Amino acid sequence: MLLLKALLIVTKDVYLMSTKLDFDHYNQWIAPISQLESPAFVQGLMIGQICADTSLTEALWLKQFLTEAGITKIKESWLHDLHQLYEQTLLGLNSDAFELELLLPDDTSSLAQRVHHLALWSEGVLHGLGLGQLPELNTELTELIQDLSELAMVAPPEDADDMAEEQYMQLYEFARLAAMMFYDQLHPMATKAPAKAASDAAVTLH
């Protein structure tokens, strides 16, 4: 059981980015790389690194990623995919319409799979943050790290009922918001619209 106090942003005018990230596509090419558990982990790792290092460029991130993953040879098509992932994720973090899209299985996948990969995404964010040199964090961000640590350990629900689906969506929205809050506060020069009023919500996922 996970008890997570999540800050949820309610936005009415969110629209999709022009290029949607395809979880299954990314999952196919990382499958042979045993140390990469999931495309969700890869994106989470990227977000953590971007948030922790304000001077991180795409080229530097790619170099760090390949080193961290132990990849010595990479196909040109993979470079294209990684570029798209970096570009779309960064666009989402900088969006004033809260467009950040998490690289997770879609709704056709089982709830257990979606919860599993959301936990791996959270694990990736924490690992990425740990690779950087974070400044002293305020109470809000410190608590977010604790919440992400809990989310990284969440177990898939035994019953995929409507309540479990709703709880998953709340966790998904919390994860998106947590990433954007980290980026906003650690990248003060980024231009973004002020967040709308948020409310605390207790989320329990069995």
> CB of 20 within 8 A of CB of 89?
no
pLDDT value for 206 = 43
User: What is the C-alpha to C-alpha distance for residues 44 and 119, in angstroms, rounded to an integer?
Assistant: 10
Structure tokens at 205: 């996922």
What residues contact residue 200 under an 8 Å CB cut-off, 6+ apart? 5, 6, 7
Q: What is the domain extent for residue 155?
A: 2-205
**Tally of structural domains, the chain:** 1
What pTM was estimated for this model as a whole?
0.81
CATH number for the domain that contains residue 54: 1.20.120.740
Residue 11 CB: number of other CB atoms within 10 A? Answer: 12
Question: What are the b/e assignments for 76-99, b being 16+ CB within 10 Å?
Answer: eebeebbeebbebbbebbbbeebb
pLDDT value for 19 = 53
- The per-residue pLDDT string of the chain (206 residues; one tens digit each, 9 = 90 and over) reads 333 333 333 233 333 333 578 999 999 988 888 778 899 999 999 999 999 988 889 999 999 888 888 888 888 888 999 999 999 999 999 987 778 999 999 999 999 999 999 999 999 999 999 987 788 889 999 999 999 999 999 988 777 788 889 999 999 999 999 999 999 998 876 544 433 323 343 344 44
